[in-house]
Amino acid sequence: MSWPIKWLRDTATNLASYTGPLGSFVVDTTNWILRVQDGSTAGGWSTSLSSRTPIADAAYQALATDRIIAYTSITTTRKVTLPAASAFPTGALLWIVDESGSVTQTINITVGPAGADNVNGVTTLSTIVTPYGFIYLESDGVSEWTIIERSQNIQLFAGSGTYTPQPGMKLCDVYLLGGGGGGGSGAVETSGVACSGGGGGGGGGLSQGRFTATEIGSSRAVTIGAGGVAVTPPAGTSANAGTNGNNGTATSLGTLLYGQYGGGGAGGQLAATASGGGGSAGRGHGNASTSGTGGAAGVGGGLAGGSGASGSSATCTPGSSGGGGCSTSGVAGYGGTASGGGAGGGSGGGLTTGPGTNVGANGGTQSLTGSTVVGGGGGAANTGGSPGSNLTTFMADMLAGTGAGGGGSGLTQTTAGNGATGGYGGGGGGGGSVVVGSSSAAGNGGAGGQGYMCIVEWF
């Protein structure tokens, strides 16, 4: 006759605080595994080296018996505190993983040591910031955890600060985007005389570099370039050319790498004279336009702004594009199409001899393999342009936004449309021009888009 053997059993939660006699077994009825007791370790030791602890959207204090900590859901940043290294078996591995696929740059899993323990020699938190990312650690059984392997890590910067590498980083790829140039404002012109609208700003340049942990050191200063500041037009009571747009500023990682800025667009010009768009950046900065000639291209891959026409489009990846200029008859030019760098802004609408109005032009589009985003739309008569936008795919986190739309022009005693603000690194839209009048107002030149930085760390 046989008799069933029944061991002591309970849930994982209750067994986590249970310490049984040396050599005894208990059954974990949550995970259906055996736990061997040593007479001193709370929870005992799992008989399965691959035992998995599912965590649903909560912070977690890891146990010495854990081997896989798997996040099955997460809606906000959660922290995993490691068990004391001295309580974890020497040489045993602990795997922390996002199984939900919901981890992002802003919703992440941070991993930190307990007490005075270290991870790779420091107490700095390690972070999982990519969907399905993981960290694989080993304890020395005393006070040190070592990261054996982990998924890549990404740090994004939309504002100036400090880049501090994650523990164990061996190489990093750095992508820097300079600020886009601002658009020029519209002009104020006498009725019956044609004039141009404000030129769009040029796109900021994208620079790339790879650096070792030694080259980065303990940290590096991050400076995010500003977009060219928006400009206001002259008073609407007398004929005057528009205000020239401002250049953006450069983005930098210490002294290691620079992302150059786009040039500002020209203000609207009088007497049937065209306006120019700002030049875009390459290795060198883009140049501003102050007349009917587009701003010169930055050396090493930049493109010229349009001379009374649409801005130049990128012919390689990554590539920025020039801002649109406006013709002698007031027809607005589009911002050029970019491929990874900042896209140029569209020009504002000018005036015809009628007098008549012209619409503003669209900002430049971002066109990359598998992802295209149209630039901000140009405004109708007396209507502002639409702002540029940013790509939202993973690769686009390293890249730039679209150009802004230009404002439409207006007749006497009206307010012309303003140029809009560019997306990341995108040129600002030019302002629309207006016919002289006691209550007339030309459109503002839109601000260029700010710069951006992405650092991809490899371990």
**Could you report the per-residue pLDDT of 393-410, keeping only the tens digit for each?**
545 445 678 999 999 999
**pLDDT at residue number 41:** 84
**Could you report the per-residue pLDDT of 119-159, keeping only the tens digit for each?**
988 887 888 988 999 999 999 999 999 998 888 888 889 99
Structure tokens belonging to residue 145: 């955890």
Across the chain, which has 459 residues, the per-10-residue mean pLDDT values are 64 85 81 78 70 92 92 97 92 91 90 92 85 93 91 90 91 95 98 97 95 96 98 97 98 97 98 97 96 95 95 88 97 94 96 96 86 91 94 56 92 96 97 97 98 92
Domains of the chain, first to last: 8-151 (2.60.120.640), 152-459 (no CATH)
**pLDDT at residue number 103:** 92
Q: How far apart are CA 223 and CA 246, in angstroms?
A: 19
**pLDDT at residue number 396:** 45
**pLDDT at residue number 206:** 92
Strands (E), 124-234: 126-128, 134-139, 144-150, 153-157, 161-163, 171-177, 188-189, 206-212, 220-223
Phi/psi zone of residue 123: left (φ > 0), alpha (ψ -120 to 50 degrees), beta? Answer: alpha
Contacts with 439 (C-beta within 8 Å, 6 or more apart), sequence order:
236, 413
**pLDDT at residue number 399:** 64
